[in-house]
Structures are given as C-alpha cells and as structure tokens.
Amino acid sequence: MLQPRRGGAPGAPITIRSYPGERAKLVGIVYIERGINYVTLSALDIEGTGGENTVQITSANAIVEDSSITNAWRGNSCMILGDTSGDGAATLPIIRRNRFHECGNPENGNLNHAIYASNLDGGQIVNNLFWNTSALTIQLYPNAHHVRFAHNVVDGDAPSVRGGVFFGGDSDYASSDNVVEYNVIAYARTFNIDSGWDGATGSNNVARHNCLWAGREGNINTEGGGFSRVDNKVANPLFVNKKKHDYRRKRRSPCRRVVGFDTAALLRAGATRAARR
C-alpha cells in the first residue's frame, strides 16, 4: 500500500518516482487522500491487488504520469477520481502519458473501469493508452465536471463488455461541462461514446474531433442525450499491430487529419529515450 502522509505545494510537489535508469514496481493500493495535495506519481509500474480500486485520488493537484497501471484482472477499477460517498472530490488532477491495461475482472460485468471519474472538479486526462478494460475505459459518472479527456488511444475490444467513453449521472448528480476531444476510440463492445442519466441530464458536455471506429453497436449513441457531437470522423485508425497493443498509426491512417499527433508513437519514443539514460 502506498499512502503519502503529507503533500507538497504549488511548484514543489511531493514526487514518488523510479530511480533514474530503473523501473520501480508497486504492488498494492495507492491512496492520495483529501488534504494530501500536490503529489506526483511518475514512471512507476503499479499493479493493484483487487478488493479495492487500484489508484484512489480524492485530493487536489495530483499528477500520475508515465506509468503502467493495471490490477491484472483481479477486480475493481484501475483508478477512481473522487468519491460521492464521503471522501470528497478530486480537484484538478492530471493523468498523462500512462498505459492502462487489464483493469477489472470480466466476471464483474459493467462494474470495473480503467478510470472511474466519480466526483471530479476539473482536470486533464491526456495522452494515455487504454486496452483490456473489463467495462468502460472512462466513466464520467456521476459528478464529473470540467474534465478534458484528450489525445488518448482507446481500444475497447474484448474481453471488455463495454469499452469506450461514457457521460452520465445518477439520481443525485449529473456530470457536466466535460470535453472529449482528439481521441482515437475504437472497437468498443457497445458504443464508442455513450451516455445515460438516472435523474437530471448533464449539460455542456461535448465529444468533438475524435476518430471513431468499429463500435459493435455503433460509434456514438445520442439517445441518452446530455452531450453534443461535433466534427467526429468514422475511420479505421490503422494501428501498427493491435494484437500486440502497438497502437501507433500507420502513415496512411485517416485519423491523423482529425486528432493530430500520434500519441502511441510519442509514448514509445519517450520510453526509448528513458531506457537509454
């Protein structure tokens, strides 16, 4: 278990990272609790042990970067941001350049996600790769606000039962003002982008400039409402080798004109540079 007891300050975070030239593996549950602000986790291999969500953040200004995050199919979500049952919101987290994989337990159906954005005020989830998630890649539910999910690569294929991105709310909360943009979202077992509301419908959510492909039930489901769609393209991303989780895009990929730079290629280049140090 990793549970920092104190945080940092603006411009001076408490940083937990691998020693240069090495790669630390952390097996257990990570808690960054309310009041433990300005904590950065960097360049770690994090493997949850099941029973709880692997990385739990209810603080302000946490950063998780350049890491591999999984629970090896043991169950629960790989990351939860905020909590509506008492621990409070996560405020302005930055989740960037990570690889989320084998998150949840397929036997748990639609309950385990890569990122469960539960109670969230602001934040950036950018430049990540996602594959082999039991349920949804990211669930913006029930109380996520002002979140940007951008330049990520999402493979929502089996063994996922859902895959993709979800805007939603329950009887007490409704997620609003979230932006999903410049992502490659493909192969969801249901819809690549979907929504659902048990009470009030969220507002000002938008899915724009995404490259979508091969959602089993469709690419965007607007029946639930609560979000708008703008200038998304349905096109095969032409991954280099999907079976081996090489999500770089081939040169002729039509997604380039929609989403811009190749996130998977940048992450691979960064990993190569780190290995040479």
Per-residue pLDDT tens digits for 127-137 = 999 999 999 99
Give DSSP secondary structure letters for the chain: -B--S---BTTB-EEEEPPTT--EEEES-EEE-TT--SEEEESEEEE--SSS-SEEE-SBS-EEES-EEE-TTSSS-SEEE-BTTTTB-EES-EEES-EEEEES-GGGGGG--SEEEEEEES-EEES-EEEEESS-SEEEEEEEES-EEES-EEE--TT-SS-SEEEEE-SS-B-BS-EEES-EEE--SSEEEEEEESSSPP-SEEEES-EEE--SSEEE--TT-SEEEES-EE----EEEGGGTEEEEPTT-TTHHHH-S-HHHHHHHHHHHHHH-
The pLDDT, as a whole number, for residue 273 is: 56
* Percent of residues, the chain, with pLDDT higher than 70: 97
pLDDT at 1 over 70: yes
What pLDDT does 272 receive?
56
Give the pLDDT band (50/70/90) at residue 225. very high
What domains does the chain contain, in order, with CATH numbers? 14-276 (2.160.20.10)
pLDDT tens figures, 84-112: 988 899 999 999 999 999 999 989 989 99
276 has pLDDT over 80: no
pLDDT tens string 34-84 = 999 999 999 999 999 999 999 999 999 999 999 999 999 999 999 999 999
Q: CB–CB of 237/213 below 8 Å? A: yes
pLDDT of 277 > 50? The answer is: no
Q: Which two tokens stand for residue 262?
A: 């190749």
How high is the mean pLDDT of the chain? 96
pLDDT range class, residue 270, cuts 50, 70, 90:
confident
Please report the pLDDT score of residue 119 as a whole number.
98
Q: How far apart are CA 187 and CA 221, in angstroms?
A: 14
pLDDT score recorded for residue 109: 87
Residues 6+ apart with CB under 8 A from 134: 73, 103, 104, 105, 106, 108, 109, 111, 112, 113, 159, 160, 161
On the question of pLDDT at 265 being above 90, the answer is: yes
Beta bridge partners of residue 94, listed in sequence order: 63, 124
Residue range 114-126, pLDDT digits in tens:
999 999 999 999 9
> What's the token pair of residue 246?
């090489």
pLDDT at residue 274, rounded to an integer: 53
pLDDT of residue 91: 98
